[in-house]
Amino acid sequence: MEYRRLGSSDLKVSALALGTMTFGEQNSESDAHAQLDYAIAHGINFIDTAEMYPVAPRAETVHRTESHIGTWLGRQQRDKLIVATKIAGPARGFNWIRGTPRINREHLTAAIDGSLRRLQTDYVDLYQIHWPDRYVPMFGSTSYDVTQEREAVPIAEQLQVLAELVKAGKVRHIGLSNETPWGVAEFVRCAEQLGLPKIVSVQNAYHLMNRTFESGLAEICHHTSVGLLGYSPLAFGWLSGKYITDPQAHGRITLFPNFGQRYAKVNVPPAVREYMRIAQEAGLSPATMALAFARTRWFMGSILLGATALEQLKEDIDSAEVTLSKEVLEKIETVHKLYPNPAP
């Protein structure tokens, strides 16, 4: 397993990380522990979760993922692991989380204390804002609509509270998720101007059918030393090819149709077929090729794996040993030009 420095932090994270949003919904507590044991035994040192997990989010299961991790984490050598979690922002509603979450002092304090209690740890290595407190287009929406602007907690105020959490020893580093180039730049600017902790990472979607990070975000993250944590590297299972061979295949797309809207685009099936063809010609599974591709990106800090079956997780982790040839990478670029970002 390769280890990479995450942004400007002192964190050395495995190139593949364990995402956990299925724990507590599609995976039982024992399933979760089996995945965690396997991942750690095979070189993964980075575990990512969130207070709102599992997905699909609902009041009946909220916080369950962190609790499942906590019953495992409490038995581990804590300083050997890098644990990340997130505070839910207001973009999705979720009125069952503190009556609709915000990124202010009251919510940040309550959220971190709740996460630490459930995770059975005194600190998290990375604390992330899950969605901006302000309006931003997301989850398949690509156009900024100024009429959707709303009152928001100032970024400087958010950073001041996060700085207090760092000073208190509850948080080692801070990061963002589902952010825009302006948001990353403004968080960095405010931190520099006020002498507050700087963000070290941004967790956004990145996969063969959504490479939008490569434009504005890649530039700003390069100049500010912010690392990418790429989620949905298999596009909710689409890049495994299973929904091409069986449109009703078991998975998040069929279990939770609302979460599949960002993939319900006309160019998704033909793009997937092309990537499947390239993988077959190279003697690889489509999932292995997709993960190996994401790992080649110069801006990638760590790729967040999400699996429901242990066998699937094993295949995903094995992709760490695969190096794509120049020919395969050129074929991928050809398809990308033909079907650019069909599922942003």
Residue 4 β-bridge partners: 13
Of the listed 3, 38, 53, 243, which one is catalytic?
A: 53
Query: In sequence order, which ranges of the chain are alpha helices (DSSP H)?
Result: 29-41, 64-73, 105-119, 155-167, 181-194, 216-224, 242-245, 252-255, 268-281, 286-295, 310-318, 326-338
Nearest to 269 by CA among 238, 308, 231, 298: 238
Following CA atoms 50, 298, 41, 306 in sequence, which dihedral angle do they give, to the nearest 10 degrees?
40
Following CA atoms 334, 336, 339, 340 in sequence, which dihedral angle do they give, to the nearest 10 degrees?
-140
- Cα 164 to chain centroid distance, Å, stands at 25
The answer to whether residues 289 and 279 touch, using CB atoms and an 8 Å cutoff, is yes
Following CA atoms 97, 98, 100, 103 in sequence, which dihedral angle do they give, to the nearest 10 degrees?
-100
123 contacts: CB under 8 Å, gap ≥ 6: 116, 169, 170, 171, 172
How far apart are the C-alpha atoms of 153 and 337, rounded to whole Å? 39
Give yes or no: 38 in active site: no
Residue 284 token pair = 């690889």
Residue 211 β-bridge partners: none
The DSSP 8-state label assigned to residue 15 in this structure reads S
Nearest to 325 by CA among 286, 275, 280, 289: 289
Catalytic residues: 53
